[in-house]
Structure 1
Amino acid sequence: MKTKINMKNYISLLLFASIFFFACAEDEKVKIAENIKVPAIVNLTQMEYFALSLSQAESVLRELSWTPTEYGFDTPIRYTLQVASDKEFTELVSIGETSSTKMELTAGRLNIGAYKSLGIVSKGSLYMRILSHVQASIPSVYSEVFTLVVDTYDPSPSIVNPSSGKSYQLKKENAEKIMDVFSWTAADLGFPNAAEYTVEIDLEGGDFSKPISLVKHKGLSSSIIVEQMNMAVSKLIEAGATANILLRIHADLGSTFGQFYSQEVLLSISTYEAAVSFPVIYLPGAYQDWNPENAPALTSIKDDGIYSAYVYFKNAASAFKITKTAGWDGAVGTDLVSPSGSVEDAGSDNNFKMTGTEGEVAVYYITVNLVANTIHAEPKTDWIADPRVNTWSIIGDAVGGWDASNDALLVFDDKNSLWKANVAFSATGEYKFRANQDWALDYGSPTKDIYDLSGPLKPGGGGENLLLPQVRTYAVSLDFRNLENPNYLLK
């Protein structure tokens, strides 16, 4: 005979047992906590004064010692030295960890905690304690809190060279030469650290919210190449222009001690025009017959892992993938649906998919962030150019020939609604602008045999080939803001 179980009573019994178990566990924690003998710092006094200075950063102020925590049983113990700007330790800084009951307290170690807590101060109050922690089931305990009085110094790196006000005239013929050797002092913590330094630049008046990284280095100096500086500054200003640039050193000391920044110096940089290549990724999909070799490219203008472009979909509900090459290598897909989602390596079985109406055409402004692993597709109803266009490029003898391999791609400048690029023309020959690296849509000059650097454009067979008057690198702008009167500019 089967016994019928009353599920209501059964669940109640399980709930009671769980509550009883956890209550017993918490009671056990309380009993353990009541029997713990907390650590006690033995060679520190209340309101003790420490005048900290950079010149003595590595000096040992005290071999700090404390009595061991007694739990009533043997267990490995870790001790952490903590400081804060308030007695509640709401924003604490850990400045050392050990399994011993001693720690060398250097001026630099104490200063890093005081500086992170208080900033630059004279006779500021700093609170210190020892945290004792073992396994998760046993509560952590703390020593008595000591109040210290400290003078702090800035441990940030300091730029030695260049000095503020220095000017650099960059020239293309010196592209591979050393422009200067930048140097800086170390972020001084008073103990060995594996700081990584980044030389960062921004425009005068900028706040370094989106700095351009010039070089990363673990040392205290770096040779800066002319081409390297020119490419970096050209991400902030038009190539060939002159601008005042802020420069600083960013010291990364990891998650424990955080980030430090040097003073800023102001430099005058005159750049030269040069062909700039940008990192790209590709979007093969059903809307272009899954042909990765001819897939639209998304460009990272600032080389920061964020790629974007306008892409024309002949089917607004099309599936697609992201690839890192013009092939299937590194293909990425997901079963999440745009316009917003995450980018994840989901293999060949999954695709991204637009949410437009099946069978309709659409233009999307697609942004792929490979740093945050996100994708966003924004439908564009106010498309400022022909909606059949994914890309514009220059092709012809002036850029090496009329084969597709010679297309010099332009990049859409969303801020100014222009197609732009710095293009290295190789001959004083003929050229045209064309869409999608194809001849279905192209533009040329309305007048035959005219050598010019700007002017109106005429579509298709009615447009003559444009003629280049001088071989060099030009900043090219293609303007479709007035669709009835498109024009171009080379400068």
Structure 2
Amino acid sequence: MKKLIYLSIVLFAGLAACKKEAEITKMTTVSFVSEPTVSKNAVTLSKSNDTSSVVTFAWPAVKYPVKASVTYTLQIDVPADTVGNNAWANAKTVVVGKDVLSKSYLGKDLNTMALNLGLTPGAQGALVVRIQSYQDQYAYTKALTLKVTPYQPVAVYPLLYIPGNYQGWNPGEAPTAAALKPKIYEAYIYMPATENYYYKFTTAQDWNHINYGDGGNGAVTGDGLAGGLVAPGPGYMQLSINLNTNTWSAVKTTWSILGDASPGGWDTDTQLAYDPAKKVWSVTCDMKRAGSFKFRANNEWKIDFGIDADGKLTYADSPVYGNVSGINNITVPSDGNYTLTLDLHDPSNYNYTIKKN
């Protein structure tokens, strides 16, 4: 009898223990206690803020029943992809880390994200962002909206080199040509008076790699035995080569400014002078704050520069790269006498300066 009572007690205790254990492991639904925040609602991106923090997302911690690390992830998408049966299926996911409660973006990283999600460069678009937490189950915040205006970054392509008779046919010391578009190269080269103005484009600073010469009928060829291309020297040459079409061009240029900020208004060009030692064009003249101007070649609107939204010197018209709409004219900050310079010697960094005297 005592044995039977003892077994009953043991069995009852075992059942009670099982019941208690089930209560401990019962899953509790978790959630964010408040919504995420963003440091600003709209961001305009440009080269100037590529390496700066442009926006920061923050969120509260989620408390799970078990005291262990919680992994947080950002999900970023366009609004159209966050509704319907496949909502958020195409979202970009960014794992922030364990127990991390904020995420900042550099301009270049947010720009890449926006372009990858299909936003149009130069136009404001919307991104939606939510935060996901995970330990033994997922929890999500409501989505917040960030307005983003991305920009199209300029791709960097390998340089070409331009040896020629004007510099002793030495590719090791030859000036370079750069590409603003795939396989379309350009450079501005000063060629002093010499017996001829032949030159070539080379892919390296030697003659052991591809070099492009005259293929006849306005074409170029990679046949190393081909003759040189010829520029209309002496003078300041715009040299180009298009390896998509295997064509080339060489145009002799002089430079001026034209506009109602300049002495000649919109009717008469004010000429710049070239300094071979400094490799720049310049002019000193009286300028007006109320007007504007552009730099242009050969007193015509075939090759001319304005500035983009970031103030960088940019082609408005170019037979090599085509015409660009929306390029602004250049202004001076106040009436007065200025020295203006145009520097085209580095094909990767065309620039200008305005200095009040």
TM-score by length of 2: 0.40
